[in-house]
Amino acid sequence: MRKKEEKKISIAVIRRLPRYFRYLSDLIKLDIKRISSKELSQRMGITASQIRQDLNCFGGFGQQGYGYNVELLYDEIGKILGIDKRFSCIIIGAGNMGNALANYQNFRNRGYDIVGIFDADPRKVGTVINDIKVYHIDDLESFVAKQHVDIAILTVPGSRVNEVASKVTALGIKGIWNFSPTDLKLGSDIVVENVHLSDSLMVLGYRLREKLNGSEQ
Amino acid sequence: MRKKEEKKISIAVIRRLPRYFRYLSDLIKLDIKRISSKELSQRMGITASQIRQDLNCFGGFGQQGYGYNVELLYDEIGKILGIDKRFSCIIIGAGNMGNALANYQNFRNRGYDIVGIFDADPRKVGTVINDIKVYHIDDLESFVAKQHVDIAILTVPGSRVNEVASKVTALGIKGIWNFSPTDLKLGSDIVVENVHLSDSLMVLGYRLREKLNGSEQ
């Protein structure tokens, strides 16, 4: 049930919320009770006006001359991001990236439980990664029939990702987190987040070049 | 040498450029010569006004009623991102994530050469990942003395990342791509990009929940 005054928050703001959430979590660990948009701006490296605009989107917990109540804001952003809800996830592709993700403790802390790993390589089937069993990809259908799965994390090669995504969609899984280099474009029936690691590396390269050019001048 | 009319581009725009770059690259593969901000908006899922605003930042290659020249725009964004320049990178941490990154072909295509991998585990030292040799972390100093390194990619555990980052900084490496869950806060002498995989997963979770709530109503 939605509160009457609740507004639809734009996806651009939503994409920034996990970052606010992490920073506020750090502040709580440091026992900081309140923070101004200016201080938060300095810590996060984004403008104070952007912060005020973003946080205004969901009611705004800032008070003139007082700043934001850290814990209140943390809880509210957590609620919006739905960290109280748990998601059941599978990883498809037990290669290095699949292994790395299966071992990443943070996902469980954020509400994402990995319940199974799938691979086509018979040598991997039956092994266990961080207490999670590796199944043959051919057993995906019977697995999903027995156990509800919200999200499929795809770490398969680019050449196989479309085929795997079709299979996942056909089984009624509604979310895909795609690590293959190709953006998946699927129907409106399924939610996809494509991860592009090189995007972040290219930004690093840009900033590094700016810095080196600056210091050479 | 900078052109007289060149403006400083904000980091928020820079962070979106790799995405434009990928989409334009896809359009070139499809032999599409020009595209309107409206069409690009539909493909990329961001507003046409945001696209026009972003692309205006560096001169604007759109013409009313004609749209953007795909190849020109692709080349220009490539130049801004510096994909013609090559960066020499090392990976510190030969675990699953280090392995996954060492095997990622896209980095080399974008101008990022991985020239060495470092780990503290003697069983890993001397092995080779995707033609790249694994060295002992104690040999980092002598390696850097012989070979220029632009970027250190850190895939070490969170408990060790500050120590490793200090070592890297002391050796004069100017860029860090950090995969540990803790944001690195270093001096202004070094450029850091922190990767937070769970941010993207949380956005997926939010969108999925919105979708499921929507279809239940």
CATH number at A147 reads: 3.40.50.720
Residue of B nearest to A174 (CA): B208
What number is the average pLDDT over the span A6-34?
Answer: 86
CA B44, B50, B51: angle at the middle one, nearest 5? 55
Chain B residues touching residue A168 (CB < 8 angstroms) = none
Closest listed residue to residue B10, CA positions, set B50, B39, B70? B50
Among the partner-chain residues B21, B107, B203, the one whose CB lies closest to the CB of A18 is B203
Q: Which residues of B touch A177 (CB under 8 A)?
A: 200-201, 204
- pLDDT of A26-70, one tens digit each? 899 999 999 988 888 888 877 888 888 888 877 656 666 778 889
State the DSSP code for B120.
Answer: S
Q: Of A54, A132, A148, which Cα lies nearest the Cα of A100?
A: A132
B93 with B71, same domain: the answer is no
> Final residue of a domain: which of A48, A81, A114?
A81
Subunit contact B87:A205, Cβ cutoff 8 A: yes
Determine, for residues A100 and B97 on separate chains, whether the beta-carbon distance falls below 8 Å. Answer: yes
What pLDDT shows up at residue A117? 98
Range B183-186 contact pairs with CB under 8 angstroms and sequence separation of 24 or more = B183/A22, B183/A26, B184/B154
Residue-number span of the structural domain to which A110 is assigned: 87-198
- The answer to whether the beta carbons of residues B43 and B23 sit under 8 Å apart is yes
Q: Which residues pair with A87 in a beta bridge?
A: A112
Computed over every residue of chain A, the mean pLDDT equals: 88
Sign of CA dihedral A24, A25, A28, A32: negative
Question: Is position A72 within any domain?
Answer: yes
Q: Do A205 and B151 count as a contact with CB atoms less than 8 A apart?
A: yes
Query: Is residue A214 in a domain?
Result: no
Chain B residues touching residue A22 (CB < 8 angstroms): 183, 196, 199
Closest Cβ–Cβ partner in A14, A83, A198 for B18: A198
Across the interface, do A193 and B200 touch by the CB < 8 Å criterion? yes
CB within 8 Å: A202 and B21: yes
Banded pLDDT at B2 (limits 50, 70, 90): very low
Q: Select from B11, B85, B204 the Cβ nearest to the Cβ of A177.
A: B204
Of A85, A107, A195, the CB nearest to B209: A85
The pLDDT confidence band at residue A166, using thresholds 50, 70 and 90, is: very high
Q: What is the pLDDT of residue B59?
A: 63
Asked if A90 and A118 touch (Cβ cutoff 8 Å), the reply is yes
In angstroms, the separation between the Cα of residue B52 and the nearest Cα of chain A is 17
Mutate to test the interface with A, among B201, B203, B217 (most CBs of A within 10 A): B201
Q: What pLDDT score does B7 carry?
A: 57
Query: Are B108 and B181 found together in one domain?
Result: yes
B168 vs B80, higher pLDDT: B168
Among chain B residues, CA nearest to A20: B199
In a domain, A19, yes or no: yes
**In B22-111, where do the E strands start and end?**
34-35, 62-63, 67-69, 87-92
Neighbour tally for A153: CB within 10 Å: 26
* Cα(B88)–Cα(B113) distance, integer angstroms: 5
Query: Same domain for A94 and A194?
Result: yes
Domain limit, last residue, from B22, B52, B81 = B81
A104 with A70, same domain? no
Residues in chain B closer than 8 A to A58 (CB atoms): none
CATH number at residue A70: 1.10.10.10
- Selected for mutation to probe chain B from A201, A211, A212, A213 (highest B CB count within 10 Å) is A201
Task: Please judge whether A18 and B202 are an interchain contact, meaning their C-beta atoms are less than 8 angstroms apart.
Answer: yes
What pLDDT is attached to residue A54? 86
Nearest to B151 among A85, A87, A204 (CB): A204
As given in the structure block, the two tokens for residue B165 are 């980052």
Do the domain assignments include residue A124? yes
Is residue B194 domain-shared with residue B93, that is, in the same domain?
Answer: yes
User: Structural domain tally of chain B?
Assistant: 2
Tell whether B194 and B91 lie within a shared domain: yes
Kindly determine whether residue B196 and residue A97, on different chains, have CB atoms separated by under 8 Å: no
Query: Residue B157, class by beta-carbon neighbours within 10 Å (0-12 exposed, 13-18 middle, 19+ buried)?
Result: exposed
Pair A192, A137 in one domain: yes
B198 chain-A contacts, CB cut-off 8 A = 18, 104, 106-107, 110, 112
B18/A197 CB distance under 8 A: no
Q: A52-61, A68-77, B8-17, B70-79 — which is least confidently predicted? A: A52-61
User: Does B64 score more than 50 pLDDT?
Assistant: yes
- Nearest CA to CA, how far is A102 from chain B (Å)? 10
Residues B103 and B193 in one domain: yes
Same domain flag for B67 and B94: no
Report, as an integer, the average pLDDT of B187-204. 90
Question: Which chain A positions have a beta carbon within 8 Å of B181's beta carbon?
Answer: 106
Taking the CA of residue A133 and the nearest CA in chain B, the distance in Å comes to 17
Are A136 and A94 contained in the same domain? yes
Please indicate, yes or no, if residue B92 is contained in any of the structural domains. yes
Q: For the residues of chain A, what is the DSSP string, one character each?
A: ---TTPPPPPHHHHHHHHHHHHHHHHHHHTT--EE-HHHHHHHHTS-HHHHHHHHHTTT--EETTTEEEHHHHHHHHHHHHTTTS-EEEEEE--SHHHHHHHT-HHHHHTTEEEEEEEES-TTTTT-EETTEEEEEGGGHHHHHHHS---EEEE-S-GGGHHHHHHHHHHTT--EEEE-SSSPP---TTSEEEE--HHHHHHHHHHHHHHHHHHHH-
- Which uninterrupted H or E stretch holds B116? strand B112-119
* Residue B42 sits in the same domain as residue B103: no
Judged by average pLDDT, the poorest of A17-21, A144-148, A179-183, B172-176 is A179-183
Q: Return the amino acid letter for A72.
A: L
Question: How close, in Å, is residue B64 to chain A by CA atoms?
Answer: 27
Q: What is the ipTM of this complex?
A: 0.87
Which of A95, A96, A151 has the CB atom closest to B204's CB atom? A151
Model confidence at B213, in pLDDT bands (50, 70, 90)?
confident
Alpha carbon distance B191, B178 (integer Å):
11
Strand ordering across the sheet containing B67-69: B34-35, B67-69, B62-63
Q: Give dist(CA A51, CA B216) in Å, integer.
A: 33
Instruction: Tell me the two tokens of residue A135.
Output: 């199944």
Minimum mean pLDDT among A52-61, A104-113, B3-12: which range?
A: B3-12
Determine the pLDDT at residue A3: 45
Inter-chain touch A191–B199, beta carbons under 8 Å: no
Do A76 and A91 fall within a single domain? Answer: no
